[in-house]
A and B are shown apart, each in its own frame.
Chain A
């Protein structure tokens, strides 16, 4: 049981892949946008941080699931 739970927690941690890809795409687009319109960089930065926080949440769900599997 214990080792199987560890495997499950490890699988749950794979959500990090999705979050990583998402934040990577968002950042690359933001870099594009700033290169095209440097005067809008402030607004783009705010949107990027917000989008990053939202994309990060999927990875956080994975972490919560992993912790629930391991400790609850």
Chain B
């Protein structure tokens, strides 16, 4: 009885916070229902959103790379070249010279995660807020890391690398194969989730704040209708642009560190 009474009373701000979080995490996100498999193969909204991201990236790439020339290049080609060389410099600086062939994969991941995180700017929930997406990205990363290690050191050397620097640490090294992708995906997921929750709460708060403004003057009308959209946009600069791109970079940076660690051969 007591519980019911408190449940009924929890209105106001608490209810708003609960509603926002429930809508972000709890609600069913199925976008396309597949007729077979009893809902096991249903496609989530986040996957559809990543298709949009892929399409946009693909179209941008196609626009930038059509009609490439060696001499007398166009402005478009100069832009494309500066983007590619800039990204390569950023990624390869942490990757080292030993594993330079993985640079382009990491650039693609950087662009993909960055574009996904930027979806929050357009009022959509970013696809990286879905654990399924970040888990698959982290699994791809750890498979690449271990495959790079096997390719460089052969199977024997790769197995032996678990006992480095001393044999006592072997269980830790084996655990790390699971911990690395777990920390990668949780970091990305948690950061994007946190930023999105804070942005949603800010939007609700400013809506409440400016709702109560009375009057029919132009300024009052602007404050009522315009400000709730404009003020969160300032915070969106930090939470969506800065944090989103930073997290994309951190993901790629850590993956490249792991690859560098896996492909390092000792000079003896």
User: Are A and B genuine complex partners?
Assistant: yes
CB contact between B191 and one of A2, A50, A60, A71 (< 8 Å): that residue: A60
Most interface-central of B183, B187, B193, B247 (chain A CB within 10 A): B187
Q: How far is A50 from B90 in the complex, measured between Cα atoms in Å?
A: 13
Instruction: Classify the secondary structure of B's interface with A.
Output: helix
B189 within 8 A of A: yes
Given the known inter-chain contacts A50-B250, A50-B253, A64-B193, please indicate yes or no for A71 contacting B186, CB distance below 8 A: no
A5 within 8 A of B: no
Given the known inter-chain contacts A53-B247, A54-B250, please indicate yes or no for A60 contacting B194, CB distance below 8 A: yes
**Chain A hits for B189, CB < 8 A:** 64
B:16-36 near A, CB below 8 Å:
21-22, 25-26
Nearest CB of chain A from residue B129's CB, rounded to whole Å: 12
Given the known inter-chain contacts A50-B253, A67-B193, A71-B26, please indicate yes or no for A61 contacting B186, CB distance below 8 A: yes
- The chain B residue with its CB closest to the CB of A57 is B187
Q: How far is A67 from B183 in the complex, measured between Cα atoms in Å?
A: 16
**Chain A hits for B194, CB < 8 A:** 60, 63
A7 within 8 A of B: no
Q: How far is A63 from B249 in the complex, measured between Cα atoms in Å?
A: 21
**Chain B hits for A60, CB < 8 A:** 186-187, 190-191, 194
A49 within 8 A of B: yes
Nearest CB of chain A from residue B214's CB, rounded to whole Å: 38
Nearest CB of chain B from residue A5's CB, rounded to whole Å: 14
Nearest CB of chain B from residue A59's CB, rounded to whole Å: 9
Query: B residues engaging A (CB < 8 A)?
Result: 3, 21-22, 25-26, 183, 186-187, 189-191, 193-194, 246-247, 249-250, 253
Query: Which 4 A-B pairs rank lowest in CB-CB distance, beginning with the nearest?
Result: A60-B190, A64-B190, A57-B187, A53-B250
A-B contact pairs, 18 of them (CB 8 A): A49-B246, A50-B250, A50-B253, A57-B183, A57-B186, A57-B250, A60-B187, A60-B191, A60-B194, A61-B183, A61-B190, A63-B193, A63-B194, A64-B189, A64-B193, A67-B25, A67-B193, A71-B25
